[in-house]
Amino acid sequence: MRMKFRECLRVSLGAFTFLLMAELSATAGGPTASLQTEFLMTLYASLDPPEVADANLLIFNVPAGWVEGPRIKGKILPPSADWGRIMPGGVFRVDVRGTIQTDDGEMIFISYNGARQCPKEVQERFVKGEVLKADECYFVTAPTFQTKSEKYGWLNAIQAVGKMVEQKRGEGSFVKYDIFAVK
């Protein structure tokens, strides 16, 4: 039996639509891009006891610290601080702004937001002054940089991610991150 042109076109378009939808549905649930990272630096910041702005906002002055990586080495200078918010459910949101002076005298502004959440028993240990390690809590940041330096100008063009390595509260309070460029 011979198909008419319109019927043949309708069947062909139907088959094409089916194949297109199958292809789209196969990729709709998964990523279409990938991310890679490159280690930039470790950042260590000592923290003063917090100033309490209200029940949910704590301000931690950063009096000193350092950064060190394959392409950068320097110290953290004032003004640098963390405005931390305690969210419902206990999530701690960081809002950090800092000043880095490289060993060769260049100035770099660093800014990042992030989230920290620990299991209850880990948070209790933290409150008592124990050092927390990276695998004990979710603590991730998203740093960006700003500088007029030609040597470090490449930092202006990257988005970074940071992962807490160690953190301590109380006497000798500090936070330490490894920071990676996202590619």
Query: Does position 48 have pLDDT exceeding 90, yes or no?
Result: yes
- Whether residue 57 sits in one domain with residue 20: no
Mean pLDDT, the chain, whole residue set:
90
For 60-80, write each residue's pLDDT tens digit: 999 999 999 999 999 999 999
pLDDT at 107: 98
pLDDT at 30: 85
pLDDT at 28: 65
- Whether residue 53 sits in one domain with residue 25: no
- Whether residue 176 sits in one domain with residue 110: yes
pTM: 0.82
- Whether residue 50 sits in one domain with residue 12: no
User: How many domains does one find in the chain?
Assistant: 2
CA neighbor of 80 nearest in space, from 182, 175, 7, 156: 175
- Whether residue 111 sits in one domain with residue 50: yes
CA neighbor of 118 nearest in space, from 132, 105, 131, 98: 132
| Residue for token pair 């196969």 | 26
User: Mean of the pLDDT values across residues 140-144?
Assistant: 98
- Whether residue 53 sits in one domain with residue 5: no
Query: Could you tell me if 75 and 97 are in contact, meaning their C-beta atoms sit under 8 angstroms apart?
Result: no
pLDDT at 9: 45
- Whether residue 55 sits in one domain with residue 3: no
Query: Does position 98 have pLDDT exceeding 80, yes or no?
Result: yes
User: Mean of the pLDDT values across residues 171-183?
Assistant: 97
User: Mean of the pLDDT values across residues 137-156?
Assistant: 98
For 6-26, write each residue's pLDDT tens digit: 555 454 545 555 544 555 555
- Assign residue 48 the CATH number of its domain: 2.40.160.20
- Whether residue 61 sits in one domain with residue 27: no
- Whether residue 3 sits in one domain with residue 72: no
How far is Cα 109 from Cα 96, in angstroms, rounded to an integer?
Answer: 11
- Whether residue 89 sits in one domain with residue 166: yes
Domain hosting 98: range is 37-182
Residue type present at position 146:
Q
Query: Does position 105 have pLDDT exceeding 80, yes or no?
Result: yes
The three-state secondary structure class of 85 is strand
How far is Cα 166 from Cα 47, in angstroms, rounded to an integer?
Answer: 13
- Whether residue 156 sits in one domain with residue 70: yes
- Whether residue 112 sits in one domain with residue 69: yes
